[in-house]
Amino acid sequence: MPKAWLFLHPVGKLLFREGEAMKILVTGANGQLGKTIGRCFMEDDLVLTDINSLDITKETVVFEAIQVIKPDVIINCAAYTDVDKCEKNQSQAYEVNARGVHNLALGASKIGCELVHISTDYVFDGKGIVENGKRRPYQEMDQVNPKTIYGKTKLLGEQFLQETIENYYLIRTAWLYGDGFNFIKRILMQGYSNETVSVVTDQIGTPTSTDQLARLIKVLLKEKSYGSYHGSCEGSCTRYEYARAIFDRMGINKSIEPITSKDLKQLARRPSYSVLENKRLNEKGIFKFNHWEEALVEYLEELKTL
């Protein structure tokens, strides 16, 4: 257990605090990354909040909470990530993914604390960068060009962050999985049932574990290396190859039907290529992500013990 678990009432009142460790306010703490942050920062004093205890779209509530807690760091894991629902609920997507980030940045700037914000590969067009006839992964300074409401609102959140506060860490990641329902668990459920397993072959990306991402955040906070980063596991694969690797590791002898994105008839367009290059991290030499297959094996081994 962490040194101290800190919770907020909706009005933002501090219930309990002890110890002199770094004080960290975590939003979206019930999500996959938020849960991992809670485990990874066990030596610190944590304020774990979700939408029921701290709605980041409410400016007054956010300001009051930050003033009361006076955190050293805010780690924003809150986001509206259902890309299809974002297309239907555009105002809600904007409130959470853009205005919510602005509120946190304003609040953080008032007390001078640091802010970690998680963004996405969806801020790009999903085609990759073509140079000399070859496609390469996206780097931090490449031109953004979101094609979905999710991507557009996440990009606005990035812009609000960068315009409002100086001591920020902006981390773009992709294909995230951790403690919660995700692609891996869905594929395993289908694999252990009589259900037909169909997976797309025309989406390329990098599965990234929340454990690896949380470790990066810890290093960045220690190094005080502010700015924008790409943070995903090394290597890349198709969704089909990803599913096949899951089955092979878990000993599931079941065929997978290859399909295309068009077969799914999803409302929001999925990137065909969402590989991120951790260029700034590798140049600075402050953190090296594991290869996606290595991280996957570690995750699946943990699942076996549950």
| Both tokens assigned to 117 | 């914000």
Q: Which of 80, 150, 168, 242 is catalytic?
A: 150
Q: Which of 106, 22, 119, 18 is nearest to 65 (CA)?
A: 106
Q: What is the 3-state secondary structure (H, E, C) of 166-230?
A: CCEEEEEECCEECCCCCHHHHHHHHHCCCCCCEEECCCEECCEEHHHHHHHHHHHHHHCCCEEEE
User: Catalytic annotation on 122?
Assistant: no
Is the alpha carbon torsion for 107, 45, 80, 205 positive or negative? positive
| Both tokens assigned to 10 | 């909706």
Start-to-end Cα distance in the chain: 18
Q: Side chain identity at 185, as an amino acid letter?
A: K
4-6 and 45-48 strand pairing: parallel
Main-chain dihedrals φ then ψ at residue 269, nearest 5 degrees: -70, 130
CA pair distance 284, 162, nearest whole angstrom: 21
204-205 and 237-238 strand pairing: antiparallel
Active site residues: 150
